[in-house]
Amino acid sequence: MEKYILITGASSGLGKETALQLAKDGYNVFAGVRKQENKETLESLHKNITAVFLDVTSEESVNCAFQEISKLTNNLYAIVNNAGIAVGGPVEFLPVDVLKKQFDVNVFGAIRVVQKFFSFLDKNGSRIVNISSMASYGVFPFVSPYCASKRALDMFFNSLLVENKNENLKIISIKPGVVSTPIWNKSVDACEKTFENVTQDCRDKYEKELLFLAGNARKNTQKGLKAQDIAKLVSKVLSKKNPKLSYNIGKDSHFARLLSFLPQKVCNFLVKTGLKKRIG
């Protein structure tokens, strides 16, 4: 039996690699993109990939994608919520509109897609895979919007797992450590644009920290896990009869998980001390 999978945010990086990996593994993949050039590129990679225009922040776009997919099938084996952005900055000065955008993509976007396609999920055994992050453990300063959005993503979908009437539905959270993808450069660019017009008070307080974190984030595009590593884990999770609810991948992700078990006061002290030492 043919198995269809919908993956969001497949234009580049992790989403693109996951779409290709799943197509190679024999799945029929609907890959969400926002640009014609990305659609053409993805569909040229493998015959099992059908790119669909999908902006998870737009209800109209999600509805259009639903109509396109429903022409080919009304049965999905899995939805992979991969679309995401990373917003950073000090909470004291972070514009609320920027926070809203973070949640609209990472949280509400995933909910919007799943609610629309929920009736397509196979009652005999289907999956929702969320690409969360080690940031969901909430121990990373100056990227609190990203951390909070990933924690919220996990919480909402764990509630869905408990509430829903489809006893065969599996919902899995994958929490990678640092992954070498374009999201870091995009995140720093967005952060720098946001703070172009900040007050001098903000610069005086946080400039040293923000410069350090921006440089470190740009280095992440060249280090850490490869996108293919995560793609292979997604494929493995989809093929397992009884997958775990949560998977950590990368030493830093396992460390963040362990750190989260400490009392909050101790955790805060360690993170703050570590940041001070690294900045010098």
Residues with catalytic function = 146
- 85 within 8 A of 183, measured Cβ to Cβ: yes
Q: How many CB atoms lie within 10 A of CB 124?
A: 10
Question: In this structure, is the dihedral angle defined by the CA atoms of residues 114, 120, 123 and 129, taken in order, positive or negative?
Answer: negative
Q: How many CB atoms lie within 10 A of CB 229?
A: 16
Render 162-180 in DSSP notation, one character per residue: HH-S-TT-EEEEEEESSB-
Q: Both ends of the chain: CA-CA distance in Å?
A: 58
HEC profile for 78-147?
A: EEEECCCCCCCCCCCCCCHHHHHHHHHHHHHHHHHHHHHHHHHECCCCCEEEEECCHHHHCCCCCCHHHH
In which element (H, E) is residue 33 found?
Answer: strand 28-33
